[in-house]
Structure 1
Amino acid sequence: MKQQTPKIKDIPTQVKNPDLVERRRRQIVDAAVQLFIEKGFHKTTTRQIANAAGFSIGSLYEYVASKEDVLYMVCDAIHAEVQRGLQSALARAGKGRDALSEMIREYFLVCHRMSDHILLIYQETQALPTQWRENVLESELGISGVFVKVLAQMATSGNMPHLDEHSIELIAHNITVLGHMWAFRRWFLARHYSIEDYIKLQTDFILGISTRSSEDIHSNL
């Protein structure tokens, strides 16, 4: 039998109030991100995380069991924020090119707000236990999957020339990576583009790709 991948709810807590757990864990996440970036995951101690979050070390362990739990919570916070943003954008925009444009915009804005968190995922995900790491990768694929669904709907409805399954999947992954690119190359990009400029240019680029035929795309690969 395949072992079930753990979820954020599986992180042990001694606190029974779920709203309080969510608030306190968000404080822990925000404090830990800066420490992990400045010192590195392995050199940061749980006591330092507790101090930065305004907790005693004992209080910290009421909400998490280990430093690895905190790192996983950082990853989960990003994915949860992205999913909320994409669902909200999809509800606002409806269908077609407007839906895709609105979703790209919302996704890039989340990447902008959570740039430090995204950098941390790239730097430290390998420090997670295997099952946590697998769950992070599943969540990443889930984000790309939302874009796959919208692109497939556009192809089916005639809002763009038909693209085959592989081309749609590749475009969806391009979108997710372009959002991450703002985070890990902002040291350069932010000097030359505002986030609004970046969103517009990349959206035009993505929509340009998505309106080409599969034959055009594959002939240039």
Structure 2
Amino acid sequence: MISKREVKSSVKDESLIEKRRSQMIRGSVKLFKEKGFHRTTTREIAKEAGFSIGTLYEYIRTKEDILFLVCDSIYDEVNNRLSELSLEDGTIRGLKSAIHQYFSLIDAMSDDFLVMYQESKSLPKDALQYVLEKEMLMVALFENILQSCVKSGELRIEQKEIQLAAHHIVVQGQMWAFRRWALHNVYTIEEYIEVQTDQLFNGIVGASPE
């Protein structure tokens, strides 16, 4: 279990904290994508979020806190949307369904993922470690599904290859966010999912999208 990193707030109303921080996250993702983390000021984030700089500092202490909240919210959203993937039935069909759901989520949150991976290096050491641990939980989700496929006999790969395959799925999904600028004129998200899934199961030589 990962210990939740606390971002201190002088406000006690949890629902208001969640609302205001959600506004900050949305505003900061837009600004970080356009200007980068270091060139964006907290005053600009407050303005984009729709409140004053004084109000902003009631909910966070530093600009790094905002970046952490962005990263943490991404993994929370992934977990919320994909939490039932571990219940897939150990079939190749179920694995392909999980991959499709995950890649589709990357498409819907591509700006968020792009900002996180470009700017997470600016997090304090403890916050970065927390984010990396959350990343590994996402990999573990696919490890569990792959393991279920092995146990059911639908997939035949060595135990040591399961983790590598899980990392491969996670990274290939995230590539849609990083390289979409070069790929969107060639593939729709559905075509991208189809080709990547086919290459995952058949390799480049045997790949034949249908």
1:58 maps to a residue whose letter is: G
Report 1:1-221 matches (<5 A): 7-8=4-5, 10-91=6-87, 93-161=88-156, 163-208=157-202
- Give the Cα–Cα distance (whole angstroms) in 2 for the partners of residues 14 and 21 of structure 1: 10
Query: How far 1:39 moved relative to its partner?
Result: 1.6
- Per-residue CA deviations over 1:124-175 (Å, capped at 9, x if unaligned) read 11110000000111111110011011101110111112x2222111110000
Query: How far 1:95 moved relative to its partner?
Result: 3.3
Question: What's the counterpart of residue 212 of structure 1?
Answer: none
- C-alpha change, 1:147 and 1:89, in structure 2 (3 Å) is closer
- C-alpha change, 1:99 and 1:68, in structure 2 (3 Å) is same
Question: What's the counterpart of residue 219 of structure 1?
Answer: none
Query: How far 1:23 moved relative to its partner?
Result: 2.2
Question: What's the counterpart of residue 214 of structure 1?
Answer: none
- Give the Cα–Cα distance (whole angstroms) in 2 for the partners of residues 110 and 155 of structure 1: 25
Q: CA RMSD in A?
A: 1.8
Q: Which sections of structure 1, spanning at least 5 residues, go unmatched?
A: 210-221
What is the TM-score normalised by the length of structure 2?
0.90
Query: How far 1:97 moved relative to its partner?
Result: 1.6
2:188 maps to a residue whose letter is: S
- Give the Cα–Cα distance (whole angstroms) in 1 for the partners of residues 119 and 143 of structure 2: 27
1:55 maps to a residue whose letter is: F
- Per-residue CA deviations over 1:16-45 (Å, capped at 9, x if unaligned) read 232322222111111001111222211111
Secondary structure of 1:193's counterpart equals: coil
- C-alpha change, 1:23 and 1:43, in structure 2 (3 Å) is same
1:111 maps to a residue whose letter is: I
Question: What's the counterpart of residue 206 of structure 2?
Answer: none
- Give the Cα–Cα distance (whole angstroms) in 1 for the partners of residues 89 and 147 of structure 2: 14
- Give the Cα–Cα distance (whole angstroms) in 1 for the partners of residues 183 and 135 of structure 2: 23
Alpha carbons 1:90, 1:102 under 8 Å: kept: no
- Per-residue CA deviations over 1:159-206 (Å, capped at 9, x if unaligned) read 112x22221111100001001100010011111111111112212222
1:204 maps to a residue whose letter is: D
Secondary structure of 1:192's counterpart equals: coil
Runs (4+) of structure 1 exceeding 4 A deviation are none
Question: What's the counterpart of residue 208 of structure 2?
Answer: none
Q: Which sections of structure 2, spanning at least 5 residues, go unmatched?
A: 204-210
Secondary structure of 2:116's counterpart equals: helix
